[in-house]
Amino acid sequence: MRLLLLSTPVGPLGSGLGGGVELTVFNLARVLTTRGHHVGIAAPSSSKVLNNGLVELIQIPGGWQLPAQGQSRSEPIVTGAALSNMWDYARQVQSRYDLIVNFAYDWLPFYLTPFFETPVAHFVSMGSLSNAIDEAIAHTAKQHPGTLGAYTRSQASTFAQTPTNQWQVLGSGIDIDQYDYCDHPTDALAWVGRISPEKGLEDAVLAAVMAGRPLKVFGKLENPTYWQNVQQLIAEASAQIDYCGFLATAELQKSLGQSQALLVTPHWIEAFGIVAIEALACGVPVIAYRQGGPAEIVRSGKTGWLVDPGDVTELAEAIARIDQIDRRQCRHTAKTMYSLTAWGDRFEQWFYQILSGMMSS
């Protein structure tokens, strides 16, 4: 197949602004090229991918899109230049590709789909956040059945207007060989993610204080005002927090691997939570809220603990029980459940189904 992946327009690949979708685009391109498919990625200017020499990277100029999670449900539609330029590019080159794959969480690509001659698959990377996008997705499900992909069932079920059987649930996968198993952690906990209100860093800070443990924080500083508030909380609570910045995967996995546990404390329905499988791959148990993607990943009592959303005391109690979790079991689960190969198979099959028009409405 010849595939054109249209990346998220919220920032360049490698910047961290796109969150987990960056790793999704990158890993998908890698696994598909190794199977002999031709893969082009169109992404905002200054994008970087750890290229295996096979991926064609097309840099698209223009301003970045504002992340949907920072906006209200009824926000008027605003289109940044990078997004419209990406779709203009796709329109011009579409005849060179068998399939276009959209990774933008935005109204425009859904709206444009019927105007394309080359079929368009949409991988939706977040749960429902906007009325305009919900409607665009529901419309696409009716007009182009079988073309919607999601990470998890919990994520798909947030789109009330689109029946769950209209979604291909594809999960996620990582290259386990890029993550080293670590059997000798320090006493520090880890929190990994974009520093933005929906990610709930403050809960992890409070839980670490209650548990009397240091916390290492890794991730893109997306919302400076929120970070100031968290820093104030850190000072007030005399928390031992070490902000390590946004690290490339190779460095991130080294530090993450040395953690006692990863805390996943989102205040929204997390579509997946790639950081949870990255942690498991290093042998790090995951303590997460029992909702959204992380609740589908963590097996409470086996690969970590699931606690009631927002319950910081329960988080602290789970931290105290962390040595009941076998780190080898965490690594084993990542290896068997989230391999790049199995994930690549699912995407490949989905793409072939779209191309052969076999999907039923």
Residues forming the site for ligand UDP (CB under 6 A)? 16, 19-21, 23, 192-194, 218-219, 246-247, 249, 252, 272-275, 278
Report, in Å, the least distance between residue 63 CB and ligand UDP: 21
Least CB distance to ligand UDP at residue 173 (A): 12
Residue 69 CB, nearest approach to ligand UDP (Å) = 8
> Do you know the residue count of the chain?
361
Residues 6 or more apart from 266 whose CB is under 8 A from it?
A: 193, 198, 199, 200, 273, 289, 292, 294
**How far is it, in rounded angstroms, from Cα 265 to Cα 190?**
11
Instruction: Please say which residue, 111 or 243, places its beta carbon nearer to ligand UDP.
Output: 243
Whole-angstrom CA distances from 193 to 70, 177, 216, 244 are 15, 22, 11, 12
Q: Which is nearer to ligand UDP, 26 or 167 (CB)?
A: 26
Residue placing its CB nearer to ligand UDP in the complex, 218 or 305: 218
For the bound state, the minimum distance from the C-beta of residue 228 to ligand UDP, rounded and expressed in Å, comes to 20
Cβ proximity to ligand UDP, 174 vs 307, nearer residue: 174
21 or 137: CB nearest ligand UDP = 21
Q: State which residue, 97 or 338, has the beta carbon closest to ligand UDP.
A: 338
- The pair of structure tokens assigned to 286 is 């995951």
Sign, CA dihedral 237-238-240-244, equals: positive
**Which residue's CB is nearer to ligand UDP, number 210 or number 247?**
247
Residues 6+ apart with CB under 8 A from 200: 265, 266, 267
- Cα of first residue to Cα of last residue in the chain, in angstroms, is 24
User: What is the chain's alpha carbon radius of gyration, rounded to the nearest angstrom?
Assistant: 20
Please identify the residue of the shown chain whose CB is closest to the bound ligand UDP.
Answer: 19
For residues 261 and 213, the answer to whether their CB atoms sit within 8 Å is: no
Nearer to ligand UDP, 182 or 275 (CB): 275
Q: Could you tell me the smallest distance in angstroms from the CB atom of residue 261 to ligand UDP?
A: 15
Alpha-carbon gap, residue 212 to 319, rounded angstroms: 10
Closest separation between CB of residue 241 and ligand UDP, Å? 15
CB of 92 to ligand UDP, least distance (A): 30
Query: Considering beta carbons, is residue 203 or 278 the nearer one to ligand UDP?
Result: 278
What's the closest the beta carbon of residue 107 comes to ligand UDP, in angstroms?
A: 19
User: Listing from the earlier edge strand, what are the strands of the sheet with 99-102?
Assistant: 56-60, 38-44, 2-6, 99-102, 120-123, 148-150, 167-169
Closest approach, Cβ 243 to ligand UDP, in A, equals 10
